[in-house]
Amino acid sequence: MAGLDETRPFIPVGIAVLTVSDSRTLENDKSGDTLAGRVIETGHRLVARAIVPDDKDRIRDQVQTWTLDKEIDVVITTGGTGFTGRDVTPEALEPLFEKRMDGFSEVFHRISYDKIGTSTIQSRATGGVANATFIFVLPGSPGACKDAWDGIIKAQLDYRHMPCNFVEIMPRLDEHLKRGAAG
């Protein structure tokens, strides 16, 4: 059964938050504020935060740079997951994924469906792993960010969460590279 094993220590991880928007600034970025606040309240380290416009190259460049930073274990983006012409975050980031996290999208949509019904299909939330860094691609609404963090990400980034969590596998995310180097 899922729950916290209080005999295990909490292990903080480094997280970067990226808002994808043509109109947001740090002063009015409610979704980024929501995520940054939850990261800090939970006890993790907010290592970086930025805003980039809805431009595939800029989005990809920022996230790729963060995946190469050893202080950053997780990147969470907010914005650009819809269907309008400017919504390009999945297209920018999915090519970086070495492994897709299909279950994240499925669980996110289940949680979202309970709150907004069929409107959840208007989000292309996704997730994956690149350069041994977990990447979560969220919609640009504060409500969606709350749902994703509270309903999925918070537990998976808590080493005490059982029966399993992402923190315990972080040291093994790049073992394919180590095997290749040894062979």
Q: Which two tokens stand for residue 21?
A: 């928007």
Encoded amino acid at 107, one letter: V
Domain membership of residue 59 as a residue range: 8-182
| DSSP-assigned letter for residue 9 | P
Q: String of b and e for 137-151 (b: at least 16 CB within 10 Å)?
A: bbbbbbebbbbbbeb
**What pLDDT digit, counting tens, does each position of 103-131 carry?**
999 999 999 999 999 999 999 999 999 99
pLDDT score of 155:
98
Residue 126, domain member (yes or no)? yes
Of the chain, the percentage scoring pLDDT greater than 70 comes to: 96
8 Å CB contact between 78 and 52: no
Confidence of residue 183 (pLDDT cuts 50, 70, 90): very low
SS3 151: helix
Encoded amino acid at 37, one letter: G
Q: Which two tokens stand for residue 167?
A: 């923190």
Number of domains, the chain: 1
Residue 3, domain member (yes or no)? no
Query: What stretches of the chain adopt beta strand conformation (E)?
Result: 3-4, 14-20, 45-52, 74-78, 99-100, 126-130, 133-138, 161-162
Say how far apart CA 123 and CA 68 lie, in whole Å.
Answer: 27
Give the contacts of 177 (CB within 8 A, at least 6 positions apart).
Answer: none
CATH at 70: 3.40.980.10
pLDDT score of 115:
95
Q: Which two tokens stand for residue 117?
A: 């019904």
Q: Tell me the pTM.
A: 0.95
Residue 72, domain member (yes or no)? yes
Q: Which two tokens stand for residue 141?
A: 């609404």
pLDDT of 180 over the 90 cut: no
Of 31, 1, 53, the C-alpha closest to 136 is 31
Residue 2, domain member (yes or no)? no
**What pLDDT digit, counting tens, does each position of 44-70 carry?**
999 999 999 999 999 999 999 999 999
Residue 65, domain member (yes or no)? yes
Say how far apart CA 130 and CA 74 lie, in whole Å.
Answer: 10
Say how far apart CA 110 and CA 72 lie, in whole Å.
Answer: 28
**What pLDDT digit, counting tens, does each position of 134-177 carry?**
999 999 999 999 999 999 999 999 999 999 999 999 999 988 76
Residue 18, domain member (yes or no)? yes
